[in-house]
Structure 1
Amino acid sequence: MWPTLTALSNEGTNMSNSDARHEAGPSDTTCGREIPRDPRLDASMGLLSEGYRFVSNLCDQLDSDIVSTRIRLREVICLRGGTAARLLYGAEGLTRVGAMPSSVLHLLQDKGSVQQLEGPAHRHRKALFLGICMDPARVEALVAEFRAAWRAALDEWEEADSIVLQQEAARVLTRAACRWAGVENQPEARLAEEIFDMIDKAGSIGPRNWLAQMRRSGTERRLRKLIEQVRAGEVVPGSATALHAIAFHREADGALLDDTVAAVELLNVLRPIVAVGRYITFTALALHRETNWRDLFRSGTLELAADFAEEVRRISPFFPFTAAVTTRPLQWEGYDLPADQWLLLDLYGTLHDARNFPDPARFRAERMLSWSGQDDCFVPQGGGEVAVTHRCPGEMITVELLKEAIRLLCLEMDYEIPPQDLGVRLNRLPAQPRSGMVLASIRRRPGTEPCVAG
């Protein structure tokens, strides 16, 4: 696609990537431990009904962090926990090709993207995204665009009786992302709706998903034309923009990216930025419920905004799972994993495991989590070393945008939370507050000096 630490119970958290690869080495001739098996013929209905809790429920029932089941009659080994995260994000002998249902793949990463590559090819393409997404100066520039887009939208919100924050955040982030990435002359309102649908319908099946895929195809066509115009010199983006970097990126063999692949990768920069809108929605919900934290931020004390943002990322249901397929027999924790085995890592369950995060259902920003610590159990956007694994390179962007959203919500505007359904269904993928988080009676706060979150 694109929150002092409490004592976390996590065996071997500091294991290096080389150690992880050794632990998940080729399977030998010895007989491995027996993997507990789900007695159901197929667990697809359980996945649909239990959603984010599916893997954890199964692991708890079978008293194991590794279980075997079937989804749509395909055998899958489900795992949870830090050592499992090291396997899926640190081990060789895995591929993402064939791991994700096509209905999800085409709406999110799509074919030819960096997520579909492995080994040297993946690391070379990943370096492109590291340069775009993890350069502090570029991240600061994106936050500035986000701030400007939010303030412009605030003028409109003051005239409205109410807004649905989840939808408005997508619109604001699309505008900020396009201007930051150098993607000009695009229908921003339409693009915001298209990208929102890619994210919102990724977990659906049937006509809703098909329509979102059709809309994504139109988005890709427009971006492919833009890539062609850049390469022809008809459009000249700034040299520091994502559009310029992707249009002129060369693979290890010296060839430019295919126009279609370049368009896919450009969208893979824009889409994850817009997806941060879901975290912004959950941030507003947390501010509504955690009144002590809200009052602290409204007093102008923002030093702990990053801790708050990280706890939002931990506790909020975002991506429930990640998947991979073994390319050769592996052995992990004494269990034999055959070649061509589908693996499913429980991200939500790992983030809500009491062994790693005491009292996991309680919002506790004082956990002082941080994406930069690369803790194997804190995996809202993946685990492992970002430069060499499939961990998302956008965590710095996510946290900085959330810090700015906290500042904007608490210091630059007043609003009311009218009666609404703020419940979150965990069998809806991706999850969201049912109402989308309605804000009413929005007013710009007078006399508030702009400042940067600490």
Structure 2
Amino acid sequence: MKKIPRDQRLDQSINVLRQGYRFLPKRFERLHTDIFQTTLLAEKVICVTGEEGARLFYDKEKFQRKGALPKRIEKSLFGENAIQGMDGHPHEHRKLLFMSLMTPDHLERLSNITTAQWRKKAYEWTPDGEIILFEEAKEVLCRAACEWAGIPLEENEVTERAEQLWSMIDAFGAVGPRHWKGRKARAESEKWMKKKILDVREQRLQAPGDSALYQMASHKDIEGNPLDPQIAAVELLNVIRPTVAVATYVAFGALALHDDEEQEGKVREAESPYIEMFTQEIRRLFPFVPFLGARVRRDFIWNGFHFKKGRLVLLDIHGTDHDSRLWEDPHKFKPERFQEWKGGLFDLIPQGGGEHYTGHRCPGEWITIETIKSSMRFLTNDLEYDVPSQDLSYSLTRMPSLPKSGVVLTNVRIKP
């Protein structure tokens, strides 16, 4: 039996916060390994990286999600009793509910709504003013997600709801005020969603039969019972919250356009497959999810290493997306790399990997892709703007990360 390489013996929890996305990659590099053991929150943890590490991590016979999420993440980002912590047939049953919303027709409708909301918002901007693209994107995507999901959203609550949804996301890598703001936002948002669920069930609110709101309100669990309204509210938030998270990708996409003027012309060709490659490269290169966790279901041996039942295992998401064995020049923005990409399940994993329909791959991945594509088409086809001097750098220690300025645009105008 081989001994798993060890990181420092002291608890490394504080260094996760200090080093962010670099925490795992730095240790894999220093130890010259794709597996090591460390201590986080007083618990021994095994960390893996790379395509083979991802393939192992998504083996449902070896790993379970129950008990893997820290409570602070449940209470801010995902919600308690959500799909992210489920396993087996109950997980597969609920996963099919999410995947039923990811049909081509649903995704095309979301794309059209997103574009329409961007255009509507653009008419509010004045040519002599300036906007912060990230801030605008949060509201645009909140409107689009709610309209698509069938959730009524009053004009006077858009800013508040968008900020609540973002605060839940912003809390996952934070301690102190940022984290507590996210927990408060989750409580308020769950109350909002629970009321919508109950309104539909008690016929005070009509929702389209194919909408996410109706589907969550009417869904029955694997035993044939209606979802508890609190759980239904959590899962409805798990449909619209990730859409607002795409605001970070919109900002990073604008940064990529600004850094290379040739990109804009290539993306502008609406019928070209380049927009798909451009979108995937945004997701691959720029920081989003640092790592994910699961627990060992039963004792097993992998590559000569012993994995003990109950052990927490972390998969290095950011490091795998920048693995030089998988991606040539991994720290450069090169959409063309996806021209020959075969669509692997364990190499491009910015929101997690594995199989779509029955595995633990994020069900909102396709929503993310379509929303980015719609937003990038809008920026290149519908809008003219200037990018003034500003701090466009982004930190790999802050989780989640985004350009420091939020991407300021001036002289913004709709193309004639």
TM-score by length of structure 2 reads: 0.96
Moved more, 159-168 or 228-237: 159-168
Residues 222-263 of structure 1 deviation map (CA, whole Å, 9 limit, x = unaligned): 111111110011111011100011100111111000000000
Determine the C-alpha separation between the residues in 2 that align with 1:345 and 1:443: 43
Q: Does 1:421 align with 2:400?
A: no
SS in 2 for 1:344: strand
Residues 263-297 of structure 1 deviation map (CA, whole Å, 9 limit, x = unaligned): 00000001011111111111111111122111333
Correspondent of 2:159 among 178, 182, 189: 189
Unmatched 5+ stretches in structure 1: 1-31, 447-454
Correspondent of 1:166 among 116, 128, 134: 134
Q: Does 1:440 align with 2:410?
A: yes
Q: What's the counterpart of residue 113 of structure 1?
A: 82
Q: What's the counterpart of residue 349 of structure 1?
A: 319
Residues 123-180 of structure 1 deviation map (CA, whole Å, 9 limit, x = unaligned): 0000000001x20000111111111110111011236611111111110000011111
Determine the C-alpha separation between the residues in 2 that align with 1:97 and 1:414: 48
Determine the C-alpha separation between the residues in 1 that align with 2:179 and 2:328: 37
Percent of counterpart pairs with the same letter? Answer: 40
Determine the C-alpha separation between the residues in 2 that align with 1:48 and 1:160: 40
What amino acid is aligned across from residue 301 of structure 2 in structure 1? Q
What amino acid is aligned across from residue 147 of structure 1 in structure 2? T
What amino acid is aligned across from residue 146 of structure 1 in structure 2? T
TM-score by length of structure 1 reads: 0.88
Correspondent of 2:124 among 111, 133, 156: 156
Q: What's the counterpart of residue 206 of structure 1?
A: 176
Determine the C-alpha separation between the residues in 2 that align with 1:185 and 1:303: 34
Q: What's the counterpart of residue 100 of structure 2?
A: 131
SS in 2 for 1:426: coil
SS in 1 for 2:412: strand
SS in 2 for 1:42: coil
Determine the C-alpha separation between the residues in 1 that align with 2:391 and 2:346: 34
What amino acid is aligned across from residue 425 of structure 1 in structure 2? S
Closer, same or farther in 2 for the Cα pair 1:403/1:268, shift >3 Å? same
Q: Does 1:142 align with 2:114?
A: no
RMSD value over aligned CA atoms? 1.7
Closer, same or farther in 2 for the Cα pair 1:160/1:106, shift >3 Å? farther
Q: Does 1:46 align with 2:15?
A: yes
Determine the C-alpha separation between the residues in 1 that align with 2:317 and 2:88: 23
Residues 27-56 of structure 1 deviation map (CA, whole Å, 9 limit, x = unaligned): xxxxx3110001341222332232111111
SS in 1 for 2:214: helix
Instruction: Give the superposition deviation at 1:101.
Output: 2.3
Moved more, 38-47 or 122-131: 38-47
Unmatched 5+ stretches in structure 2: none
Determine the C-alpha separation between the residues in 1 that align with 2:339 and 2:208: 35
Q: Is the 8 A contact 1:158 1:444 kept in 2?
A: no
Q: Is the 8 A contact 1:310 1:369 kept in 2?
A: no
Closer, same or farther in 2 for the Cα pair 1:127/1:369, shift >3 Å? farther
Q: Is the 8 A contact 1:165 1:439 kept in 2?
A: yes
Q: 1:27-426, aligned counterparts within 5 Å?
A: 32-132=1-101, 134-158=102-126, 161-186=129-154, 187-298=157-268, 302-368=272-338, 373-426=343-396
Q: Is the 8 A contact 1:230 1:247 kept in 2?
A: yes
Q: Is the 8 A contact 2:114 2:144 kept in 1?
A: yes
Determine the C-alpha separation between the residues in 2 that align with 1:375 and 1:248: 32
Q: Is the 8 A contact 1:315 1:351 kept in 2?
A: yes
Determine the C-alpha separation between the residues in 2 that align with 1:51 and 1:211: 20
Moved more, 146-155 or 399-408: 399-408
Instruction: Give the count of matched residue pairs.
Output: 414
Determine the C-alpha separation between the residues in 1 that align with 2:368 and 2:305: 36
Closer, same or farther in 2 for the Cα pair 1:375/1:300, shift >3 Å? closer
Determine the C-alpha separation between the residues in 2 that align with 1:109 and 1:416: 37
Q: Is the 8 A contact 1:374 1:385 kept in 2?
A: no
Residues 352-401 of structure 1 deviation map (CA, whole Å, 9 limit, x = unaligned): 01111011011110111699823311111211111111101222222222
